[in-house]
Amino acid sequence: MSISTNQIITKSTKPEDVDFQLGQVLLIDKPLDWTSFDVVNKLRFKIKHGLGVKKIKVGHAGTLDPLATGLLLICTGKLTKDIDSLQAMDKVYSGTIVLGASTATYDSEVPPDHHYPTEHITEEIMESARQNFLGPIDQIPPIYSAIKIDGQKAYNLARRGTDVEMKSRAITINHFELNSNDFPILSFVVGCSKGTYIRSLAHDFGKGCESGAHLGSLRREKIGDFDVKDGFTMEEAINFIDLALKKVI
């Protein structure tokens, strides 16, 4: 990866030091209900029109679902070639797991399709299940995901009622912390490798507790050494871009 410190835009960056065409990495705190592509398209529009150019490369390093918030790395210009290396970094997420109900999407996008008992779940059962997900594991991604099967995205096949067989993939869970004070809603913090689906982790954790579960909420806290605490809200990012390009709103 060939990204220098002065190419990383955080809240402490001076607008006059920015060169979007040469390449920048902009840290965004993605809002709820926005897709990652919504963020890219909005920022690309602002940068392109601010520079007065017909085209500029802008991309993101790692998709966040619309129901997730948190750190999204936006690359511009020549630094879009570094997207793959940024995506390969370990990540840290926080959020909630809802025990006792599963959903087809493994999150709260759709209503529960099955309900399960939770009265039997003790701290010991949860701890045993948690331990089973630490370290290198094989994980099956959700059917409702953007993984391509025979050239088509799995979620498109699933929505058409096509039988979809998802293949497991090797991932690593570096740490998995749980707080059960609001049981059956569990708060968690997870550190994991590239390719990890936290929705699948929530779903599989429910099975490990001899129950069911789905992801209630999700927030990406870190990508490598990048921290969401240094990220811009969308409003802040747009204002910063206007200042950097000396464009009056």
Q: Which residues are identified as catalytic?
A: 65
Q: Name every residue whose Cβ is closer than 8 Å to that of residue 107 and which is 6 or more positions away in sequence.
A: 65, 67, 199, 202, 214, 215, 216, 218
Alpha helices in 82-134 (DSSP H): 83-87, 123-132
Tokens representing 209 are 């507790």
The first and second tokens of residue 152, run together, are 């088509």
Q: Which residues lie below 8 Å from residue 235, measured CB to CB, with a gap of 6+?
A: none
> CB-based burial of residue 244 (10 Å sphere; 0-12 exposed, 13-18 middle, 19+ buried)?
buried
Instruction: Give the position of tokens 């990495």.
Output: 25
